[in-house]
Chains A and B, each alone.
Chain A
Amino acid sequence: MNYFPDEVLEHVFDFITSHKDRNSVSLVCKSWYKIERYSRQRVFIGNCYSISPERLIARFPGLKSLTLKGKPHFADFNLVPHDWGGFVYPWIKALAKSRIGLEELRLKRMVVSDESLELLSKSFVNFKSLVLVSCEGFTTDGLAAIAANCRFLRELDLQENEVDDHRGHWLSCFPESCTSLISLNFACLRGEVNLGALERLVSRSPNLKSLRLNRAVPLDTLQKLLMRAPQLVDLGIGSYVHDPFSEAYNKLKIAIQRCKSIRSLSGFLEVAPHCMSAIYPICGNLTFLNLSYAPGLHGNKLMKLIQHCRKLQRLWILDCIGDKGLGVVALTCKELQELRVFPSDPFEAENAAVTEEGLVLVSAGCPKLNSLLYFCQQMTNAALITVAKNCPNFIRFRLCILDPMKPDPVTNQPLDEGFGAIVQSCKGLKRLSLSGHLTDQVFLYIGMYAEQLEMLSIAFAANSDKGMLYVLNGCKKLRKLEIRDCPFGDAALLEDVGKYETMRSLWMSSCEVTLGGCKSVAEKMPSLNVEIIDESEQMEFNLDDKQKVDKMYLYRTLVGHRKDAPEYVWIL
């Protein structure tokens, strides 16, 4: 059905950028499939084990940008052993071998070795952008290779990675000829950096828009950097400790005032709270503020700062802001869309400084709120119902009551009705995380109302298999389901195994599913990998099908069993 020559269609497809849309386009007919695949430059792979690098390369020879995700989400919380998998090396090796013109690589929860980074740095002449989120396995030596060899590097963005810091000279490895940097984020590195090299690098990077420093960068260096880069849009401050009466502080004030383009501010990894006034001049323009690594900033100093931030759209903060502080947010930040409140004292539930009150205040004051991550001491049904009424636009709603299974403290009821109100009101809800005391009822509501739900995280909830069944039957768009410590067993798991092929993955740990149940899924669905993770070696000694499985992770795949699983992972 080609009314146009291929080049015309290709040009039309250029305007289609979303992965979902391009995937749809490729399904229309053979001819469109062919044109689409040759013109595709950006590919997103949500589970690195769902496809092999060879097949990826075969289908998309023009690949320039690859996004890969490795470990399951619960790996973030230490539920997945270290060497479970998610190695990027085979991907880089395959891409290098086939001479793909890779320019951008974005990885999340993957194991990245120095060897991979070195190979990456030497194999792709036009490599421009490396983004690593929540990865591990590399050291600053690997970063040195990237700095030294990627001549046209524009972006090096390291977010919350565990990096073995050799306190090396990696920053000095950027050659004098490297002037193309647009984004440099090394906030997660714990070691010293060569400050002189940093200053020189920033000086010769006129396009630098985003700079996030680590703790080792002191205030006077910050001031020098800002003087050289007043065009910055995104700034992450390392150390912010200084004497308010010093020359350095005055210089800093001047430097900050020149930075009229800063819209995003983060860091304050070390902070002297009495010196925040230097920041006020840029607060009025901020759209993103991340103070979630600055426990030293709280009370009045914090509130004063927030009061200057009238244009804020995204706020990441620690719970030491308190309900009262959230009230200030509600009064000031009328444009707020995303709020994340992290616990400053994760292991002492009683110390969590925010409750349902803070959330209600924000929901009332910030009608544009659509994304929430909220760690709190307690929650009530009444509050959730109010929030649901105030903010029907939630796309992401993640609530974590620090004390697992805690009921509504006022009524002692489970939080079924509260979460039920959220899913009923927020018709566009795509992601939901539940906590507190919950029965099967909440899952009935979710199955009934959460039509757009794509990701659901459940912990310490439900009474029976019914809970899981309500969700599997009701949520047609479900892609990722992760469950821990719930009484869901084989009956729920096996009710509709075909469903799992429509999803990216299912994680179940500390539930009631048995080895026999998992085997059954694997048998019926060859297109799924069903992995049993068992570090305690119980499986080895007791192959009884009735044995409860500690951790099960299943995912759809086109390439069968992976070959790199460690000993304690059984692929059924």
Chain B
Amino acid sequence: MVFEKELNLDATELRLGLPGSSEESLRISNKRALPDMNDDSGVAAAKKCDQETAPPTKAQVVGWPPIRSYRKNSLQTKKTEAETGGMYVKVSMDGAPYLRKIDLKVYKGYPELFKALEDMFKFKVGKYSEREGYNGSEFVPTYEDKDGDWMLVGDVPWEMFINACKRLRIVRGSEARGLGCVV
């Protein structure tokens, strides 16, 4: 029987590189010791397989999985946009000496966003109504959308807002009155 009592990790280790060379490039080599033909090869191979598949799950094999680079790049871009970078947007407030940045992904909806803005800039948002915007408050949250237009925060569903918002600007109530008016 070929099953070693001692786990010969060197022989079964998935090595990166050609046999005889030390670990180099990102290639999982298939150069495992071949199971003895007399052996219950299925089981032996499976055992070796277990050992082999365990470590390199995180290692990236070149050219694996076999999907076109174009597709891989597309997914990567989407992933980066969607997850890793977060959705950081600049926030400016009229009169404040410098801008801040917040990650929109962190908030579940408008209430949380407003709370964060209020904390950050020490102001109160005021009551939102579809008809009149943020009437009654000194400061009004606005945002620049993908078309470059300045919009009132709160009109569209949250998901849509975070996808469209490029930056935030908290304007003085007096300036913002135009935005809150019904057309």
Contacts and interface: CB of A to CB of B under 8 A. Distances in A.
B27 interface: yes
Contacts of A487: 30-31, 34
A439 interface: yes
B67 A375 contact: yes
A327 to B, nearest CB: 24
Contacts of A548: 18-19
A463 B52 CA distance: 15
A505 B19 CA distance: 26
Q: Interface size class for chain A?
A: 35 or more
Interface string A253-272: 00000000000000000101
Contacts of B74: 293
B80 interface: no
A548 B25 CA distance: 15
A138 interface: no
- Looking at chain A's contact residues, the main secondary structure is loop
B65 interface: yes
Contact of B163 (A241, A345, A349, A400): A241
A403 B57 contact: yes
A344 interface: yes
Interface string A336-357: 0000001111110110000000
Interface string A123-167: 000000000001000000000000000000000000011100000
B120 to A, nearest CB: 27
Contacts of B164: 241
A344 B75 contact: yes
A319 B31 CA distance: 31
Given A79-B62, A243-B157, A346 B45 contact: no
B65 A76 contact: no
B160 interface: yes
Given A487-B30, A550-B18, A346 B159 contact: no
A125 B34 CA distance: 61
Interface of A: 74, 76-79, 134, 160-162, 188, 218, 241-244, 270, 272, 274, 292-293, 295, 342-347, 349-350, 375, 400, 402-407, 412-414, 433, 437, 439, 457, 459-460, 463-464, 484-487, 510, 536, 548, 550
22 contacts: A76-B68, A77-B66, A79-B62, A134-B68, A160-B70, A241-B160, A274-B157, A342-B71, A343-B65, A346-B75, A375-B65, A400-B65, A403-B57, A404-B28, A405-B52, A406-B49, A407-B49, A437-B49, A459-B64, A459-B66, A484-B63, A548-B18
Interface of B: 18-19, 24-25, 27-31, 34-35, 41-43, 45-46, 49, 52-53, 57, 60-75, 78-79, 82, 146, 156-157, 159-160, 163-164
